[in-house]
Homo-oligomer: A and B are copies of this chain.
Amino acid sequence: MGMRIGQGFDSHAFKPGVPLVIGGLKIEHTEGLAGHSDGDVLLHAITDALLGAVSAGDIGTFFPPSDPRWKGADSSVFLETALEEVATAGYRIVNIDTVLVLMRPKIVPIAGEMRQRVADLLGVKPGDVGIKAKTPEGLNQDGVAVAYATVLLES
């Protein structure tokens, strides 16, 4: 049995007039995340963690932001590709942990639902997904959502 580790990072600025989607979950909020795709900062970080764990490039290698095909794209499409790369390399997910850093909305009330949604998209149990959140204390980035993801794979 072999194991592999991967990590991902992403950030997107909040922007009025667009829907907010985090972890594949549509969230009722006054603003959404700017981005060429649906701006799902959490799925992007997870996608990159999976790709990095099997040394398969990054989200920008597969889905260049310059490509009009990915305008407004559902980010679960990106995740699907990363899962295929992981499977092709002969690995499967042991567990994944994440942190969202954002001023609002509050994540605690929706963390359970987000965990279930991310687990469904990854094809793992909710107990193998960690969803955590922090406010960006002192960082002067209240208008941004940042996501970190780390993943452990085994063959």
Contacts and interface: CB of A to CB of B under 8 A. Distances in A.
Q: How many copies does the complex hold?
A: 3
B6 A130 contact: yes
Interface string A2-22: 111111111111100000000
A111 B6 contact: no
A30 interface: no
Contact of A99 (B8, B12, B95): B8
A58 B59 CA distance: 27
A48 to B, nearest CB: 5
Contact of A138 (B9, B12, B48, B52): B12
A61 B112 CA distance: 11
Interface string A82-110: 00000000000011111101000000100
